[in-house]
Structure 1
Amino acid sequence: MYLVVFDCDGTLVDSQHTILHGLEVGFEAVGLKMPDRQTALSIVGLSLEPAFLQLVGRENADLVPRMCEAYRSAKVSRRIAALDHDPLYPGTREVLDTLSRRDDVLLGVATGKHSRGVAHMVEVHDLHGKFITVQTADKAPSKPHPGMLLQAMSETGADPKRTVMIGDTSFDMEMARNAGVHGIGVTWGYHVPQELRRAGARRVVDGFPELIPALEEVLGWNKEIA
């Protein structure tokens, strides 16, 4: 059995606008200036606390809890108001459907999102039943710690040699390397291809249509799709 694990933000869904809004609310809550867009988005993939800490520095570590609380409150308010709708990237659903039809593949998620955020994504995009294992920021240490992938493999019985992590950031690729699994980077998210390769990506793809062939190469698939 193969285990294919996806990151969410920047990989499955384009969430940059809602993330930036949440970060802005967090910085406003403590009276700090919001960093530029590129710097702000560079932390996508980390869990919320380490993400804010990286942006403000350890000298402002005491402000991080208030920033996180403001971010989370803003996200909940936007969801209640039906404003938090992060679109799937083109080709996402088709690839998930194709992989789901294979009887030798299990799908999973490993993300810096809270479990509420993943549940919201699944509900909005009707992805019910796609992911056998879901690892989130409230269940495991932040990337690039291997905990999320180790838990995913433990839950599914998958072997590291038959497991692959797909993500858009160096944090995803470092987590894959730390867990002893394959890493495939995608270029439509928040880190550039060079960063993904330096972090250990076996392959880097530019669009979802390239993902199935990349999986076939990295995992050595030779079984036809059911």
Structure 2
Amino acid sequence: MKRAVLFDLDGVLVDSRAAQLATLAGFATSALDRRVTIDDLPPGAETIPREQVLAHLGLDRSIDENGWDAASATATLAAKVFPFVVETLTELRAADVATGVVTLRSRRCLHWLLPPDVIDLLDTVVCYEDATPKPAPDGLLLALDRLGAAPSNAVFIGDTDTDIHAARAAGVTAVGAGWGFAGPHALTRTGADLVLSEPLDLSSALLRLVGGPQLNGFPGDLDS
């Protein structure tokens, strides 16, 4: 049976906290026709669904995706792929583990955040327009269907409660990325099967999870 590791994008593979906050402020400035700064955003805005953040600021209509992408285009210039990403994806591929990304970003934004050499190491990418967004499980299930992997042989690593809820709804082992937006304690409270405080030796930890019958047997926290 094919094994698979799926990743969230922002905060997990890409250091984009500042970019996400700048996107929210920039989009709100344009949509509300008044200046909105990062200081005007609610606490923890990077971990809250964008619809809730923008409603808090006064937006009373649906988000214009073209406008959102335009705000992202400049903000994401500050985002950087984490140093461990290429090595981790390369080692998973060498171990015959399929990999994919399930993200709330549009496909247009993908190339602003990930360089071609990283995209080439991924077996599939599910974006906002491909499936009902997280916390619904649809994106994870679509990725696994493309990869030919069952949920019982898969891991999803994310950094917010939305990611953990999506993984559990999909029947996938939920791994919290403690270096991301929400932090390890929040991910533990949300119910992640495993929380990794740091990405050191990440591929080894993930290979242990998909390597045998212990797949669902790692509750709690692992400082790796």
Which TM-score band (shorter chain)? 0.7 to 0.9
Residue 96 of structure 1 corresponds to 89
Structure 1 residues not aligned, in runs of 5+: 44-50
* Partner Cα distance (1:37, 1:99) in 2: 38
Q: Give the distance between the partners of 2:27 and 2:195, measured in 1 at CA.
A: 33
Task: Report the aligned-residue RMSD.
Answer: 2.5
- Report the structure, 1 or 2, having the larger strand content: 2
State the identity as a percent: 30
Distance, in Å, in 2 between the alignment partners of 1:25 and 1:6 is 27
In terms of mean alpha carbon deviation, does 165-174 or 29-38 score higher? 29-38
Alignment match, 2:219 = none
What residue in structure 1 maps to residue 4 of structure 2? Answer: 3
Q: Within 5 Å, which residues of 2 pair with 1:131-150?
A: 131-150=122-141
Aligned counterpart for 2:100 among listed residues 75, 97, 108: 108
2:165 matched to which residue of 1? 174
Q: Is residue 87 of structure 1 aligned with residue 80 of structure 2?
A: yes
> 1:52: Cα distance to partner?
3.1
Answering whether residue 71 of structure 2 is matched by residue 74 of structure 1, we say yes
Residues 1-226 of structure 1: matches in 2 within 5 Å? 1-29=2-30, 30=32, 31=34, 33-34=36-37, 35-36=40-41, 38-43=43-48, 51-57=49-55, 60=58, 62-65=60-63, 68-76=65-73, 78=74, 84-103=77-96, 105-122=97-114, 124=115, 126-221=117-212
TM-score, normalised relative to structure 1: 0.81
**TM superposition shift of 1:128:** 3.8
- The 2-side partners of 1:216 and 1:70 are apart by 40
State the Cα distance separating 1:32 from its structure 2 match: 7.1
SS, match of residue 198 in structure 1? helix
Aligned length: 208
**CA-to-partner distance for each residue in 1:108-165, whole Å, 9 max, x for gaps?**
000111112223333x262142111111111111111000011011111101110110
Distance 1:125 1:219, change over 3 A: same
- Residues 24-78 of structure 1 deviation map (CA, whole Å, 9 limit, x = unaligned): 11221203755447432122xxxxxxx3321143895534435x543322333x3
